[in-house]
Amino acid sequence: MDMATKLKLGFAMGGGVSLGSFSGAALTESIKLALLYGVDGQNQPYDSVEIDVFAGASAGAMSLGIMLKCLAFPNKGAEKRNNAIQSLKTLYDISDKKWQGFSDKKQQQLVDAQLAQEVMNDIWVNQITLERLLEPDGDANIPPLKFQCGVVNKKTVVDIARANLMPSSGQYKNSDKAKHMLLANRVLYGCSIANLNPIHAKAYQLYPVAKDSNIATNDALTSFQHKEMRIFDINFAAVPSEKLSQQDQHPKRWVRLHWGDQIPDETFDLRSGDDWKHIVATAVASGSFPVAFEPVTLKRYNWEYPSTLWPYKGESSGRFSYIDGGAFNNEPVAEAFKLASHIDGLDKNTNYERRIIFVDPNVGAEPNYYLPGLTDWQTQQALAGPLKVFRAFDGNDLYQKTSLDKLIGQVVTQATVSSAQAEAKEEHRTFQIANKLLMRNELRACITNAIAPNNDNFLNLKAQIANFLTELSDKDPIPTLPTTIAGEIWRLANEKDSVVADLSPLAEQIDVSNDITEFSADEQKKIMTALVFSFVDIISGLAAKSRNSQLIAIGPFYKKSDENFEKIFLPGSPIAAFAGFMSPIPSRYEVDVARYCAMEFMQQASAIPHGKVPTTLPAPFDKNYPEYDTYMAHFKMGLMALSNRVEQMVTSSNLLNLGLINGPLLSMLASFIKDKINAIEYQQIEEVVVELRVPVSDGDFELDGKNTFDDDRHPIRLSKQNNQLYLICFATWHSKQKVWTGYNVKNGELIIDRDGFFKDKHGYYRIVLPEQNLLAESKLMGYPVFWGKTELVPSDSPIHNPITQYWLLKNELVPFTEFI
């Protein structure tokens, strides 16, 4: 009879700002689904479910910190737990008889997971609101919002963290722990953070350089590091000092906490509220979205860094300031796998299945190569002003872009590039690793029969590997390898289908041996094989990557057909996902969507059977949704509150020093920005703006000015060297509504007039706007321009039919070689 299988879960959660409501609900839902319906590779229920890895970035780090705290120290109140039981029965159609059939352990763990989900939902739906975030007051330690380095109030963040992450009594007790803890006895919790104070890495201190190396050589071998991952090694039992000294088990660079007294320079006391603050502060730092939140200063210790990187010589601690970890690493999937590899490498029990569950509410749009900073023309419309009076005199004008116009567009592009790079999918590396594993396995097969036992080679290989293991343990922030030869032999012997499995009981003897001949001939060959395998794994970076691990990614999609998934619109996603803070309505909706998506993607991954979960997809959040209009009212009020805050920031600033005109100028600037914020449309539908150039034979062709004193737009020459006249304008394609809009666009056609002596000939030419295939091609161009194929000339007779198939698409970016 097969042994029962344990499910070991690790969680990875990226940023999402207000979409943390989706992520938190999806992860807690996955726990409940695993407990209720989870099956192993043989389609048998798991014997137990255990959570031991958390890796978070941005809002994800704070959400995971809250989840960790809720699962470790759940609410013990009888009323709360009874209510949770009733919720579970209702949500999953569990009868009283079926519930009674669950073991006490399963009941308690399901209630703990349900309570954790309810706490997460309450935080994202009710506690983190724009109203609270914009409260003006500070406290004894925090200045009023007016004097803080952020748009929103630091005090609100502190209050929420204190209420939901800190022990209510100042210290945790044994009675606070979960009765049957879902968490493992040891949990690794990693937070992605971005250091504003760069760590100066000096490679010339690690690698040999010539004796005559100068300052330039040294500079070429240095860099500044801002991306960091702070890891907490959390132990729910006391850890002896001698065990903490074992680097392969409890790396010194991690912040170690145990259920016992603090040991200076070794471990903090997990029970202590003061020591728990290190976790809370780091989680908040990881979620400090730039500009919106003030940077968070953390106390770091010299043992958290290699000695060559620690800047405060002679000091045991220092202060660094951090912003959102998502700035450089918004999807810490690789870190979750490495943390899991570290734990699994120490687990002598091999009868388990490892799953890393990653939630990503931010699903990227299709790539668009458009670079506004490198385009030449733009249109400009006058500000509305009182009664739109300015637009009556100045309509929609064409301007050639100047340097500042282009630089503003380029700054936006570069900010987008940085954001996209931070979200570069680490899981894409999985495919590269898979190919490398195949190549490695082929190499192993080739060399297995070619290895001849030799004592000199045996000793040399052991020495080389031991040196590698020591170096990697010292330098790797998340060491996944053992620090001893014995540990490496055991790792290789316990790989799936290992050819050196017989060496497992000999690992310690091999480590200390100085003579390979003390082993049998068959053992000698396997020992040399294992050592060569280890050497290959280490130099190729593949060690500890072949364990039984699977990634389950959960995103906002539903299965439309057997092969197609459709994206689900999350109502909190507009305005860089800050819209969800303006009302509880979107977060409530996203919780329901998350529960459905967790079920859908766990079914797809065969983690749970199909058809057993009574969860349905919520109705689309569109104008027909019952609370849509209420949310739109909340959204407008939220924009107003946000614009008022920005207005207060500008008018109270010391930005200018122009005496009496300071006030009026700052007020004008504030009014301009305020109008822009209040004019933001709710749903940012994907739009494609195209530049159109129509060649015409003379200056009497024009684009109509629509207002009373608005000048018509006449053709221009693109350069002094080119006499051809062009009418230049822009049109916008709205992909969801499938309509064209523009100042001179009507019913999907560009309207071109002919200047007359007494009266203009309106609609002299009508040109059908570009076809869909050309629009798709334009997305892959940095500066797409649609040129008219033929020159428009006066006609002797009226033109009744629109011109079709008129446009030729060109990329106007010029390779630099053509300038030389």
The backbone torsions φ and ψ at residue 686, rounded to the nearest 5 degrees and listed phi first, read -60, 125
pLDDT at 520: 93
Query: pLDDT value at position 459?
Result: 92
Which phi and psi angles does 54 have, rounded to 5°?
-135, 125
Q: Return the pLDDT at 390.
A: 42
Establish if 445 belongs to a structural domain.
Answer: yes
Query: Which pLDDT does position 543 carry in this prediction?
Result: 59
- The SS3 call for residue 151 is coil
Same domain, residue pair 359 and 374: no
**Residue 359: beta bridge partners?**
13, 554
Instruction: Based on the fold, state whether residues 703 and 816 are members of the same structural domain.
Output: yes
pLDDT tens figures, 710-746: 567 889 999 888 889 999 999 999 887 889 998 889 9
Domain that holds residue 762: 369-410+685-820
| Mean pLDDT across the chain | 86
C-alpha span between 537 and 553 (Å, rounded)? 27
Half-sphere exposure of 497 (CA within 13 A, CB side): 5
Asked if 707 and 813 sit in the same domain, the reply is yes
Q: Tell me the pLDDT tens digit for each residue of 359-404.
A: 988 765 667 788 888 899 988 765 444 444 444 445 578 888 888 8
Place of tokens 């074992």: 246
Count of beta carbons in the 10 Å neighbourhood of residue 188: 23
CA nearest neighbour of 641 among 208, 144, 21, 151: 151
- The residues pairing with 319 across neighbouring beta strands, listed in sequence order, are 299
What count of residues does the chain have? 820
* pLDDT attached to residue 387: 40
Helix (H) or strand (E) holding 722: strand 722-734
What is the pLDDT at residue 81? Answer: 97
Among 761, 578, 745, residue whose Cα is nearest residue 677: 578
- Position 203 scores a pLDDT of 58
Same domain, 773 and 802: yes
pLDDT tens-digit map of 13-39: 987 888 999 999 999 999 999 999 999
Please say if the pLDDT value at position 758 is more than 70.
no
Check whether residue 405 and residue 441 sit in a common domain.
no
Regarding whether 437 and 406 lie in a shared domain, the answer is no
* 258, part of any domain: no
Residues 787 and 706 in one domain: yes
706 and 816 in a single domain? The answer is: yes
Q: What is the pLDDT of residue 493?
A: 86
- DSSP assignment string, 125-143: IIIS-HHHHT-----SSS-
pLDDT for 411? 79
For residue 577, pLDDT over 90 is answered with: no
Least confident of 8-17, 260-269, 437-446: 437-446
Nearest residue to 134 (alpha-carbon basis) of 640, 635, 586? 640
User: Could you tell me what percent of the chain has a pLDDT over 70?
Assistant: 88
pLDDT category at 236 given cuts 50, 70, 90 is very high
Any idea which of 549-553, 595-599, 643-647 has the lowest mean pLDDT? 549-553
Of the residues 511, 540, 569, the one at which a domain ends: 540
| Overall number of domains in the chain | 3
Mean local confidence (pLDDT), 65-84: 96
- Beta-bridged to residue 187, according to DSSP, are 234
Which pLDDT tens digit goes with each residue over 613-625?
888 899 999 999 9
760 vs 744: which has the higher pLDDT: 744
Q: How far apart are CA 518 and CA 513, in angstroms?
A: 8
Over 90: is that where the pLDDT of 662 sits?
A: no
Which DSSP string corresponds to 682-700? SS---EEEEEEEEEESSTT
Same structural domain, 576 and 535? no
Most confident of 77-91, 336-350, 572-586, 743-757: 77-91
Torsion of CA 756, 757, 759, 764, to 10 degrees: -10
Residue with tokens 């050592």: 531
Q: What is the pLDDT of residue 393?
A: 47
Nearest to 36 by CA among 118, 103, 110, 111: 110
pLDDT band at residue 412, thresholds of 50, 70 and 90? confident
Whole-number Å distance between alpha carbons of 796 and 338: 76
- Same domain assignment for residues 603 and 482: no
What are residue 703's phi and psi, to 5 degrees? -105, 130
| Tokens found for residue 533 | 């395998």
Q: How far apart are CA 20 and CA 361, in angstroms?
A: 8
CB neighbours of residue 505 within 10 Å: 9
Do 735 and 759 reside in the same domain of the chain?
Answer: yes
Q: Are residues 721 and 799 in the same domain?
A: yes
What pTM value is reported for the model?
0.83
- Those residues whose C-beta lies under 8 Å from the C-beta of residue 173, and which sit 6 or more positions away, are 271
Average pLDDT over residues 75-90: 96
Residue 56 neighbours by CB distance under 10 Å:
31
pLDDT value of residue 111: 98
Sign for the CA dihedral angle at 551, 191, 580, 368 comes to negative
| Segment 545-555 mean pLDDT | 75
Q: Which residue, of 604, 621, 638, is where some domain finishes?
A: 621
The three-state secondary structure class of 462 is: helix
> What's the pLDDT at 551?
86
